Amino acid sequence: MTWLSCFSGGCGTVHLGYDTKACMQIACKIVSISRDKGEDDIRKSEDYQQTMKEIKILRKVSHTSINRIIDVAENECPRKICLILEVASGGDLLSYLMRRDRVDIEEARYYTLQIAYGIKYLHDTGIVHRDIKPENLLLLNSPPRARIQISDFGAARLFGPNEEFQPETSSTWLGTLSYISPEMAQAVLAGMETTTREEPEPNVAMAGDMWAIGCVSYMLFTNKEPFAPFDKAYVEYDLKRNKNARMLHVLKVRIERKPNMGEQLWASMPEAREMVQGLLNELPSRWGAVKMLASSCLQEGRAEMEALYCRSPVHIGS
């Protein structure tokens, strides 16, 4: 195995390498494990348990719209765990959007369709992702018309009859602030636990995924964020009094403000507007993956998009 490059991010350190036996490029995500205070066994640490949960989920999934795990390497004293993953040579969706003024409507529709395929598969499999955002949507090959894959399952959860869905505090459900749903924002502001075993927590969690996809779709079709940017002066002033000012401001905006769904912005794409509005509805009216896939927006040009999807390379790097 030959290592070609390395970069670091919030998920850990990622090395780009080449598997000489399989003759393919690979990505190696290295996760550092810290021992919990007062605990000698590192395998009982929160870091270790969380990483094992991510690996369990990745091994459970198999879909062309999900970034694939190839192997796992663990030291005898597991201070570092290495996840060998499929390489996405086109980078992530956020980087691509930042390089472009905007993508055309056909490209936006094609990417949105693939994201919908991936999230429907996850929800049907009993998995909620909980951190859908452009940075976690990878381009498997070079754009335009790239194959999109959902990645980074560090915040994901399994649910189902054979899975223990643990009650979690609001802070563990945050994901990324910019894509947090209004019901989650309310729970965080209230300082409440968001789930108990008796509540329909998978439905709420899946609805949170759909909200985040609504935010991503809004960006794809308009090249704008769905919610107004932070009032910098307000936040900086409030930071002097409250170190959580930015978070509180974002949460209040998410609850109180509505995205711009006006005719002027969406005049040339009414079907996309209808779909995005459905994804950004309040509960219980928010669209799920099935309704999203059946929308007029994703039905238009569907045969051509599916033909392109089938022709696109499934695995890059060989």
Which residues belong to the active site? 131
In the numeric block, the tokens 């070609």 are attached to: 4
* Cα 91 versus chain centre, distance: 15
In the numeric block, the tokens 């896939």 are attached to: 293
Helix, strand or coil, per DSSP, at residue 316: coil
In whole angstroms, give the CA distance from residue 220 to residue 41.
Answer: 46
Task: State the pairing for strand pair 127-128/137-139.
Answer: unpaired
Beta strands in the chain (DSSP E): 2-9, 12-19, 24-32, 69-74, 80-86, 127-128, 137-139, 148-150, 157-158
* CA distances (Å), origin 56, targets 46, 53, 139, 202: 15, 5, 23, 18
Number of residues written out for the chain:
318
Question: Phi-psi category of 34—alpha, beta or left, where left has phi over 0 and alpha has psi -120 to 50?
Answer: beta
- Provide Rg for the chain, Cα atoms: 20
In whole angstroms, give the CA distance from residue 54 to residue 164.
Answer: 15
Q: List beta partners, residue 149.
A: 138
Residue at 181: amino acid letter: S
The 8-class DSSP code of residue 232 comes to H
Give the DSSP letter string of 167-205.
--BGGGG---GGG--HHHHHHHHHT-B---TTS-HHHHH
